[in-house]
Amino acid sequence: MSKLPRLTNIYSKVKEDNGGRDYTLLAIEATSPFTYQLGRPDPMRYQVKVTGLANMYTGPLAVQDGILREVTITVKPEESQVLFEVWLEAPAEATVSFTEGLPSRLTLLLSRSPLKDFYCGKRVVLDPGHGGADGGHRGPVNLWEKDVVWKTAQEFSRQLRRLGAEVILTRAEGENPPWEERAGKGEGADLFISLHTHGEGDRKVRGAAVLYPPGSREMEILARAVLERIVSKTKVPGRGIFPAAELGKVKGCPALAIETVTITNWVDEGILRNPYFHRKLALAVLAGFFCTYGEKRGK
Amino acid sequence: MFAGIIPVRTHIITEEDDIVEVACRYTSGIAGPGDVIALAESVVAISQGRAILPERVRPGILARILCRFPNKSGSLATPAAMQLALKEVGTLRVLAGCAAAAAGKLLGKKGWFYIVAGRELALIDDIAGTMYPYERHIILGPKDPQKVAEAIKEATGAEAVIADVNDLGCVDILALTRKEYYQAVKEALRGNPFGNEDEQTPIVILKKFAEVA
């Protein structure tokens, strides 16, 4: 029987190191220590050639966290080799380490400094919709829009603060200020994100949508990019992008309204109970803004 | 007791898959006698065609009423899931479970519903309780898990376990081919190596010895 290492797993997550810095961790695991060659054919791609046999599923690993887009895997059985192509979204530097054990693990720690450099010092206004006596839409079981968007806003806020951004919330948990007051907080900001859920009488309708100020081609492009990210990262279907006149009242900064799901749908309401959903959603939106809008305007 | 815990990345398992063949394929050359192949109960159930789309279920009045009482974050909070529970164990057992739950509530005790109505109901994952692409489904518990575990043992030579594990450290062993491993397996799975987010590792190999076959 072959003594070649058996590759068993690949995964990625955003992790914090001992110094409080965030990294994108990419790990490749095998049943015993393995030899590998690490290359960087261009700034946006690493290649890892591993000697071993693939027991694991070798379909692509989609990540899309603003730094790592995906990893594609090619098996070369005649050479007992597996090639991992690590496609980046930003030219991030990698620190490599190897741990022997069962499993043995090759780890690439990709710096998230491109994302941090982009957001650091930016003022981001988060507008959790509704609030107070205005509950917004209600899910078929029991969730209210005002509560779930508050939870989503907390996750956005946590991630943005970790990236060094200044976060302004348009309301406290029990408040419901008028739209004019909320929109006014966008003045002088770098980004305004209004958080909502959609609601329909038809319980079959589900999915996310992104709304943008009418007449702005730039915001339309951003809205489309953000929606694509949400769909890809959270697996919630997209309902589309739509112009929304009220966003025109947010002056002087890019503004989007995100309908994270359709809360009146049984599945979408259930998804809102999953804490990972809010984290993935925030990551998808912030990565979408960084990868599209960031390139146009720079820091 | 185990020298290593090895999660194995798999494809998305569907009802087209033969779960014994899947277990053989992904553990080939790794798991041998003395090792344990652990499978997440939900993928065993999915491979058995026990992932049900709620639109295929017609909840009756009783299901619509009863689904209002369980914890909303848990299972059986939707009429469709409650209807499937009624079908799974029968109306009488569900009603008896409800009576027990009510009594338990008065006495400040939890979990009496499942003790009376049936453990299999605790295995039902309601809508959005399972990862993509099964978040639209209600997933029932697996049928005959002990038979499945024995079939995996016969096909691979390794021991097999089917378990329901969550991120809170709760491990429910549904089937195990070697009873004396019970506590060690439970401890090994407590960290939820199956994952509960984007991990695609419903098969985990618990290696008894450091050497790989």
Residue numbers in B near A32 (CB within 8 A): 212
ipTM for this prediction: 0.91
Its CATH class, for the domain covering B4-49+143-207, is: alpha beta
The 10s digit of each residue's pLDDT in A76-112 is 988 899 999 999 999 999 999 999 999 999 999 999 9
Nearest to A126 by CA among A67, A175, A196: A196
3-class SS at B88?
helix
- From the list B8, B78, B135, which residue is nearest A55 (CB)? B8
Pair of tokens at residue B45: 């159930």
Average of per-residue pLDDT across A251-271? 95
Residue numbers in B near A274 (CB within 8 A): 128
Q: Domains in chain A and their CATH numbers?
A: 6-111 (2.60.40.3500), 116-297 (3.40.630.40)
- From the list A31, A59, A267, which residue is nearest B30 (CB)? A31
The 10s digit of each residue's pLDDT in B23-61 is 999 999 999 999 999 999 999 999 999 999 999 999 999
Residue numbers in A near B4 (CB within 8 A): 101-103
Residue numbers in B near A31 (CB within 8 A): 6, 30, 212
Pair of tokens at residue B43: 């993928």
Do the chains contact at B29 and A59, CB–CB below 8 Å?
A: no
Q: What is the pLDDT of residue B96?
A: 95
CB contact A55 to B (< 8 Å): yes
pLDDT tier for residue B199 given thresholds of 50, 70 and 90: confident
Every domain of chain B with CATH number 3.30.1330.100 lies at: 4-49+143-207
CA distances from A257 to A128, A196, A277, A283 (A): 10, 7, 18, 16
A168 forms beta bridges with A125
Pair of tokens at residue A138: 């209600």
Concatenating the DSSP letter of every residue in A204-255 gives T---EEEEE-TT-HHHHHHHHHHHHHHHHHH-PPEEEEEE-GGGGGS-SS-E
Query: What is the distance of C-alpha A213 from the center of its chain?
Result: 22
Q: What is the pLDDT of residue A233?
A: 93
Distance from CA of A164 to the nearest CA of B (A): 26
Q: What is the pLDDT of residue A295?
A: 57
- From the list A6, A141, A269, which residue is nearest B212 (CB)? A6
Do the chains contact at B73 and A29, CB–CB below 8 Å?
A: no
- From the list B29, B132, B199, which residue is nearest A2 (CB)? B29
Do the chains contact at B210 and A102, CB–CB below 8 Å?
A: yes
Residue numbers in A near B72 (CB within 8 A): 141-142
Residues with Cβ within 8 Å of A27's Cβ and at least 6 positions away in sequence, in order, are: A9, A10, A11, A12, A105, A106, A107, A108
pLDDT tier for residue A257 given thresholds of 50, 70 and 90: very high
pLDDT tier for residue B211 given thresholds of 50, 70 and 90: low
Residue to test with chain B: of A104, A266, A272, A281, most B Cβ within 10 A? A266
Nearest to B8 by CA among B146, B200, B176: B200
Phi, psi torsion values for A190, nearest 5 degrees: -95, -20
Percent of chain A at pLDDT above 70? 97
CB atoms within 10 A of CB B203: 29
Q: How far apart are CA B110 and CA B101, in angstroms?
A: 7
CB A209 within 8 A of CB A240: yes
